[in-house]
């Protein structure tokens, strides 16, 4: 009888051996926690479609920020959720220095300062009465260039709060270049841009829309990336890098691991991926039914995103995962 000479199983025999030879490791500092701040709340409001996630009050936001920093989380991405009465056709509440997003960014800077990276979402969908990521033309389509002018103002408003980074998530052509120019002109050369370069018009955003109380009717396929296309996504990435993106991102993460890998091979800037609300909700729902091991699924999914090539991962599990990883 012939026996194998090469026995890879030797290095899988114990937990210590497996740790020693692990090829991919997720570090807490590579995780970014998305947070929702709701205008007018007196108590945090749980989200039915995202167990464990809430719309925050200003007080609970500061507490969550402290917990994340203590766990070693690398960054915080803030989304502002205005009162419905403050939504309008142009999303003006997103530019208001006293609007909920900019107030929250100032709170985060005052509370955790430079102990983490404070990021603001640079998009209008939370603030528009129609729920789209930009202003509408007379035919109902999103007016790309009119939207860019508003993004420029919004970026400067967020920089005024002290935020370290803005996330250009609207998928408008030319948005990174316009925002970079506006920041530089206002004296904010050191404020970074996280470019949502390949943001796909996928089916995994439903719980997020509950979280931000989206007013969207219809979909965003006319401006977000089409799911079948990879080459087009690389074109978007190339354009964002050329326009001055400091980090490029793929969103969602798990259904697009091939895109993450292709982007990683393409660029020399850091690559991020967003593990979106639907990805989170599926694991939580399956775990609640006893169908999967929740913690193992959480960490395995993050490891797969890191293995595909993402250096930075936005995930709703950021604080909990960081605690487990430490």
pLDDT on residue 57: 98
Domain residues of the chain, as ranges? 25-325
Residue 78, pLDDT above cutoff 90: yes
pLDDT on residue 96: 97
Widest pairwise Cα distance in the chain: 79
Render pLDDT for 213-268 as a digit per residue (tens, 0 to 9). Answer: 888 877 888 889 999 999 999 999 999 999 999 999 999 999 999 999 999 999 99
pLDDT on residue 39: 97
pLDDT band at residue 64 under the 50/70/90 scheme? very high
What is the token pair recorded at 51?
A: 């167990």
Directed axis angle between helix 175-185 and helix 231-243, to 10°? 10
Render pLDDT for 47-57 as a digit per residue (tens, 0 to 9). Answer: 999 999 999 99
Q: Could you give the residue numbers annotated as active site?
A: 199, 251
Q: CA 35, CA 64: separation in Å to the nearest integer?
A: 9
Give me the residues paired with residue 225 across strands. Answer: 200
Query: Which pTM was predicted?
Result: 0.96
Length of the chain: 326
Residue 194, pLDDT above cutoff 80: yes
Question: Average pLDDT of the chain?
Answer: 96
Asked whether the CA dihedral 13, 15, 21, 22 is positive or negative, the reply is: positive
pLDDT band at residue 131 under the 50/70/90 scheme? confident
Average pLDDT on 14-19 reads 95
Asked if 286 and 301 count as a contact pair (C-beta separation under 8 A), the reply is no
CATH of 25-325, picked from 3.10.129.10, 3.40.50.1220, 3.20.20.70, 2.60.120.10, is: 3.20.20.70
Asked if 93 and 46 count as a contact pair (C-beta separation under 8 A), the reply is no
Low-confidence winner among 141-145, 169-173, 207-211, 231-235 (lowest mean pLDDT): 207-211
Low-confidence winner among 87-101, 200-214, 275-289 (lowest mean pLDDT): 200-214
259: Cα separation from own chain's centroid: 16
Asked if 118 and 109 count as a contact pair (C-beta separation under 8 A), the reply is yes
The three-point CA angle 317-313-14 to 5° equals 70
Asked if 90 and 77 count as a contact pair (C-beta separation under 8 A), the reply is no
CA nearest neighbour of 60 among 96, 36, 84? 36
Average pLDDT on 2-25 reads 93
pLDDT band at residue 212 under the 50/70/90 scheme? confident
């Amino acid at each position: 009888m012939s026996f194998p000479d090469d026995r890879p199983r030797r290095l899988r025999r114990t937990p210590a051996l497996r740790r020693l030879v692990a090829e991919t490791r997720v570090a807490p500092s590579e995780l970014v926690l998305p947070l929702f701040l709701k205008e007018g709340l007196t108590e945090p409001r749980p989200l039915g479609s995202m167990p464990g996630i809430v719309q925050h009050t200003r007080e609970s936001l500061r507490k969550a920020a402290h917990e994340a920093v203590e766990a070693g989380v690398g960054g915080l991405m803030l989304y502002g959720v205005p009162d419905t009465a403050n939504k309008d056709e142009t999303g003006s509440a997103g530019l208001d220095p006293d609007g909920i997003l900019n107030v929250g960014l100032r709170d985060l800077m005052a509370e955790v300062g430079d102990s983490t990276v404070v990021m603001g979402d640079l998009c209008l969908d939370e603030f528009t009465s129609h729920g789209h990521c930009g202003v509408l033309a007379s035919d109902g389509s999103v007016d790309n260039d009119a939207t860019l002018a508003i993004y420029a103002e919004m970026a400067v408003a967020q920089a005024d709060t002290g935020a370290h980074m803005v996330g250009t998530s609207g998928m408008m052509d030319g948005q990174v270049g316009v925002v970079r120019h506006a920041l530089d002109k206002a004296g904010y050369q050191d404020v970074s841009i996280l470019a949502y370069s390949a943001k796909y018009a996928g089916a995994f955003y439903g719980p997020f829309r509950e979280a931000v109380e989206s007013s969207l009717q219809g979909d965003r396929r006319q401006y977000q990336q089409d799911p079948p296309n990879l080459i087009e996504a690389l074109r978007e990435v190339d354009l964002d890098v050329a326009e001055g993106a400091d980090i490029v991102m793929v969103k969602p993460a798990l259904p697009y691991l091939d895109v993450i890998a292709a982007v990683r091979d393409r660029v020399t800037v850091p690559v991020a991926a967003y593990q979106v609300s639907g990805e989170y909700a599926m694991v939580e729902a399956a775990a609640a039914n006893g169908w999967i091991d929740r913690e193992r699924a959480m960490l395995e999914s993050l490891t797969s995103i890191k293995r595909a090539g993402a250096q930075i991962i936005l995930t709703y599990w950021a604080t909990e995962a960081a605690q487990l990883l430490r």
